[in-house]
Amino acid sequence: MGNNLLSAIALMLILEGCIPFTAPTLWREIFRHLTAMRDGQIRYIGLSSILAGLALLALITLWN
């Protein structure tokens, strides 16, 4: 279980680093747009991301 968690965190860091590495200008614009959003909008994006991750995890678990 511990190795799976560390692998998941490593993959998340790799994916999170792809946009700033390949397109720093785009990343800066996205970040600027995010800072202009209201807290409720950012929370909605976070909740949507959590739910999408849980759904994907459930699908992966069912396939195995």
pLDDT in tens, 1-40: 678 888 888 999 999 999 999 999 999 999 999 999 999 9
Is the pTM higher than 0.75? The answer reads no
pLDDT of residue 63: 87
Q: How do the domains of the chain map onto residue ranges?
A: 23-64
Neighbours of 6 (CB within 10 A): 10
State the angle between helix axes of 2-22 and 24-35 in degrees (0 to 180), rounded to the nearest 10: 100
pLDDT of residue 61: 86
Residue 64 pLDDT > 90, yes or no? no
pLDDT of residue 1: 67
Distance CA 34, CA 42 (A): 7
* Helix spans in the chain (H): 2-22, 24-35, 39-63
CB 27 within 8 A of CB 18: no
pLDDT of residue 32: 94
